[in-house]
């Protein structure tokens, strides 16, 4: 028999559906993602720590879940909502159905929801805290819990998902992810650059790309100091994506500030936001964020438009950036900052995901730009 589940939002709205995955109760910031595919990468992206995800695409789960397409060792999200979940996946790579995977990882799933109504609510009111529950189905009680649950703003979620110790990363892209168009060839006799990747909740396809580019990669905790990083003597430092509000992460901002001018730096998503803070910019919260695999971004230098994968709820305020920082990319949906670069140092970042996974590969060239900044020649 299908079990009921409810979602209550802090604005008092309650949605009912049918449970799949795990049973229980959890709270999180309720956000929506417009990707048609890629649910497995979304579910295992640590940047969703503290959030309940609503998928706008009406049927999710039809190709199941496989062990190769994961983006971290587990799941960090607080709930997963869709219109309809497919219980009979069809894919030769699948080892799990979406339901069994979520059950195994303790994630509450909810289907049978009018996701169009829910997403319209989030678009008009903004992303907000919600409670998802299979154990308390009383509307008033759930709404009260949603209103009393802590807001994502102002909290450090990085410490929950960041690497705890320094490790070497050796996994490259899978054969299926590698195409002739996305190969980097190191010049003859060039030594392999060493990258320290600071892990604030890093998606695994990023170090896989760095290895494919010809880098030796060391992963370090998000709390690492500049002295600890410089001790490893890297040729470049990568700042990863990660969950939550970047503004409380003083330890990360201080580290990055101390590294600017000493090493080439490349930041993705949270990494770019932290870079912006370290260079003197300010961060604000977007009303409902950008989460999907078809966000248009313009590269201001080339005028070329890249279709990008995105997952963020905060952004850099362009007006607060100092004169030595330029905006290199803009999001064409709302003209927000999508990329920044230091004018005199090899230091840059983007608000989107050049590692794709899931999403288009239009922005892979950014890994080549990072390579060039480390080895000093074009690749």
Ligand X SMILES: NC(=O)CC[C@H](N)C(=O)O
Q: Is 50 in the site for ligand X (CB under 6 A)?
A: no
Peptide bond into 358 cis (omega under 30): yes
Contacts of 343 (CB under 8 A, 6+ apart): 323, 324, 325, 326
Q: Is 256 in the site for ligand X (CB under 6 A)?
A: no
Residue 273 in marked binding region: yes
Q: Is 311 in the site for ligand X (CB under 6 A)?
A: yes
User: 13, 241, 308, 338: which one contacts ligand X (CB under 6 A)?
Assistant: 241
Cβ proximity to ligand X: between 21 and 243 the closer is 243
User: 222, 267, 313, 349: which one contacts ligand X (CB under 6 A)?
Assistant: 313
Active site residue 269: yes
User: 13, 35, 44, 47: which one contacts ligand X (CB under 6 A)?
Assistant: 47
3-class secondary structure, 214: coil
User: 96, 145, 209, 312: which one contacts ligand X (CB under 6 A)?
Assistant: 312
Q: Find out whether 136 and 4 touch, Cβ atoms under 8 Å.
A: no
Report, in Å, the least distance between residue 31 CB and ligand X: 9
Q: Is 31 in the site for ligand X (CB under 6 A)?
A: no
Residue 314 in marked binding region: yes
Beta bridge partners of 314: 285
Active site residue 342: no
The interface mask with ligand X, positions 128-167, x = CB under 6 A, is ----------------------------------------
Report how far residue 137's alpha carbon sits from residue 132's, in angstroms, rounded to the nearest whole number.
9
Residue 311 in marked binding region: yes
> Helices in 77-214 by DSSP H: which ranges?
98-104, 115-125, 139-148, 158-161, 205-213
- Catalytic entry in 269, 306, 329, 342: 269
Report how far residue 236's alpha carbon sits from residue 254's, in angstroms, rounded to the nearest whole number.
17
Binding segment (CB under 6 A) for ligand X, from list 10-18, 111-119, 209-217, 235-243: 235-243
DSSP 248-281: T-HHHHHHHHHHTTTS-EEEETHHHHHHHHHTT-
User: 27, 169, 204, 314: which one contacts ligand X (CB under 6 A)?
Assistant: 314
Report, in Å, the least distance between residue 50 CB and ligand X: 9
Beta bridge partners of 299: 329
DSSP 62-112: TT-B-SSS-SSSS---SEEE-SEE-SS---TT--B-HHHHHHHTT-EEEES
Report, in Å, the least distance between residue 196 CB and ligand X: 18
Active site residue 290: no
Cβ proximity to ligand X: between 146 and 202 the closer is 202
Q: Is 193 in the site for ligand X (CB under 6 A)?
A: no
User: 197, 269, 356, 358: which one contacts ligand X (CB under 6 A)?
Assistant: 269
Q: Find out whether 291 and 31 touch, Cβ atoms under 8 Å.
A: yes
Pairing of the two strands 167-169 and 108-111 = unpaired
Strands (E), 231-346: 236-239, 265-268, 282-299, 305-317, 325-331, 337-342
Q: Is 297 in the site for ligand X (CB under 6 A)?
A: no
Q: Is 234 in the site for ligand X (CB under 6 A)?
A: no
Report how far residue 142's alpha carbon sits from residue 146's, in angstroms, rounded to the nearest whole number.
6
Report how far residue 72's alpha carbon sits from residue 54's, in angstroms, rounded to the nearest whole number.
20
Q: Is 207 in the site for ligand X (CB under 6 A)?
A: no
Annotated binding site: 47, 242, 244, 270, 273, 311, 313-314
* Residues making up the binding site for L-glutamine: 47, 242, 244, 270, 273, 311, 313-314
The contact set with ligand X (CB under 6 A) reads: 47, 241-244, 269-270, 311-314
Query: Residues with catalytic annotation?
Result: 269, 353, 355
């Amino acid at each position: 028999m299908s079990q009921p589940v409810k979602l209550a939002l802090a604005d008092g709205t309650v949605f009912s559906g049918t449970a799949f995955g795990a049973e229980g109760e959890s709270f999180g910031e309720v956000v929506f993602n417009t990707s048609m595919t890629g649910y497995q990468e979304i579910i295992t992206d640590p940047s969703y720590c503290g959030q309940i995800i609503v998928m706008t695409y009406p049927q999710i789960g039809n190709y199941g879940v496989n062990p190769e397409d994961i983006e971290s060792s587990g799941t960090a999200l607080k709930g997963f909502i869709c219109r309809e979940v497919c219980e009979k996946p069809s894919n030769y790579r699948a080892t799990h159905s979406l339901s069994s995977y979520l059950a195994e990882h303790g994630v509450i799933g909810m289907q049978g929801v009018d996701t169009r109504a829910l997403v319209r609510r989030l678009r008009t009111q903004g992303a907000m805290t919600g409670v998802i529950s299979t154990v308390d189905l009383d509307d008033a009680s759930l709404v009260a819990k949603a209103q009393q649950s802590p807001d994502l703003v102002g909290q450090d979620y990085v410490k929950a998902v960041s690497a705890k110790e320094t490790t070497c990363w050796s996994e490259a892209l899978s054969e299926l992810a590698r195409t002739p168009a996305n190969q980097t060839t190191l010049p003859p006799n060039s030594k392999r650059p060493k990258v320290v990747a600071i892990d604030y909740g890093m998606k695994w396809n990023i170090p896989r790309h760095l290895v494919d580019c010809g880098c030796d990669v060391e992963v370090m905790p998000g709390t690492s100091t500049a002295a600890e990083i410089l001790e490893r003597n890297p040729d470049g430092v990568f700042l990863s994506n990660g969950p939550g509000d970047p503004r409380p992460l003083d330890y990360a901002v201080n580290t990055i500030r101390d590294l600017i001018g000493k090493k080439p730096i490349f930041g993705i998503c949270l990494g770019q936001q932290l870079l912006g803070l370290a260079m003197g910019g300010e961060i604000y919260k977007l009303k409902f964020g950008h989460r999907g695999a078809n966000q248009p971004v313009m590269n201001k230098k080339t005028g070329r438009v890249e279709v990008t994968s995105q997952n963020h709820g905060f952004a850099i305020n362009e007006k607060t950036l100092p004169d030595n920082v330029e905006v290199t990319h803009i999001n064409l949906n709302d003209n927000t900052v999508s990329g920044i670069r230091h004018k005199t140092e090899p230091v840059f970042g983007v608000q989107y995901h050049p590692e794709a996974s899931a999403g288009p590969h239009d922005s892979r060239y950014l890994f080549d730009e990072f390579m060039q900044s480390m080895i000093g020649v074009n690749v």
